[in-house]
């Protein structure tokens, strides 16, 4: 089984691309979703409360995600602190998840911060999904109802697309001009061929 990471900056459409692979029968581990599930566990909530204070816990006893985001997305050190709580647990989940798919040609590990988190080290190949910045801003404004300034602040916290492309094995361009399906099919054929060697 080949472990393939798939990443891309906010608004690039990496989740859309991952869904296309999933529709073709490829198992997909969504690290961002898993991180959210983990952050709802009592022991993790308690660790986050001890690290960031009571303000990040809502009246219902769960994380106030907006408050936590406003803290960590404005302070790289605090984001790193949060990641040290969440990432090792996500890593363990991924390793366990892989044991269920040992006979398939390849799986996808979808993560917005595949390289930054060190998850790329668990992968044999990496796909990066790219899109022009203005198109990404437009998509996020429609999807998340954030202001342009909020979006650009989040983008500034991410690695540049050039850096991601340099570190990846394959680039899928999601610019609304090139066919995503054809690009995904090409990558799928190549990965299956590598598995069968």
Please check the confidence at residue 197 and state whether its pLDDT lies above 70: no
Residues β-bridged to residue 129 = 172
Backbone phi, then psi, for 102, in 5-degree steps? -65, -20
Q: Exposed e or buried b for every residue in 158-194, given b needs 16+ CB within 10 A?
A: beebeebeeebebebbbeeeeebeebbeebbeebeee
CA neighbor of 196 nearest in space, from 1, 5, 46: 1
Yes or no: say if 126 and 168 are a contact pair by the CB < 8 Å rule.
yes
Two tokens at 7? 């990443």
Do β-strands 106-110 and 170-173 pair in parallel, antiparallel, or remain unpaired?
unpaired
Query: What are 97-132's pLDDT values in tens digits?
Result: 999 999 999 999 999 889 988 899 999 999 999 999
Yes or no: say if 174 and 12 are a contact pair by the CB < 8 Å rule.
yes
Which DSSP state fits 56? G
Band of residue 76 on the pLDDT scale cut at 50, 70, 90: confident
- For domain 2-196, the CATH superfamily is P-loop containing nucleotide triphosphate hydrolases (3.40.50.300)
Query: What are 138-165's pLDDT values in tens digits?
Result: 998 888 878 888 888 778 878 899 999 9
The sheet that has 28-30: what strands, in order across it? 28-30, 106-110, 2-7, 125-130, 170-173
Band of residue 93 on the pLDDT scale cut at 50, 70, 90: very high
What does the pLDDT average to over 10-25? Answer: 94
């Amino acid at each position: 089984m080949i472990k393939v990471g798939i990443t891309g900056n906010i608004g690039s459409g990496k989740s859309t691309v991952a869904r296309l692979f999933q529709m073709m029968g490829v198992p997909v581990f969504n690290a961002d979703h898993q991180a959210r599930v983990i952050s709802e566990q009592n022991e993790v909530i308690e660790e986050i409360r001890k690290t960031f204070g009571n303000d990040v816990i809502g009246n219902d006893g769960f994380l106030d995600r907006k408050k936590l985001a406003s803290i960590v997305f404005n302070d790289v050190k605090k984001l790193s602190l949060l990641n040290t709580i969440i990432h090792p647990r996500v890593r363990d989940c991924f390793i366990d998840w892989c044991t269920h798919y040992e006979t398939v040609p390849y799986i996808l590990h979808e993560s917005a911060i595949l390289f930054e988190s060190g998850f790329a080290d668990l992968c044999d190949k990496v796909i990066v999904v790219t899109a022009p910045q203005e198109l990404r801003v437009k998509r996020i404004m429609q999807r998340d109802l954030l202001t342009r300034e909020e979006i650009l602040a989040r983008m500034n916290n991410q690695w540049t697309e050039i850096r991601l492309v340099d570190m990846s094995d394959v680039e899928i361009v999601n610019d609304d001009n090139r066919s995503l399906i054809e690009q995904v099919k090409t990558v799928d054929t190549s990965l299956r061929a590598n598995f069968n060697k």
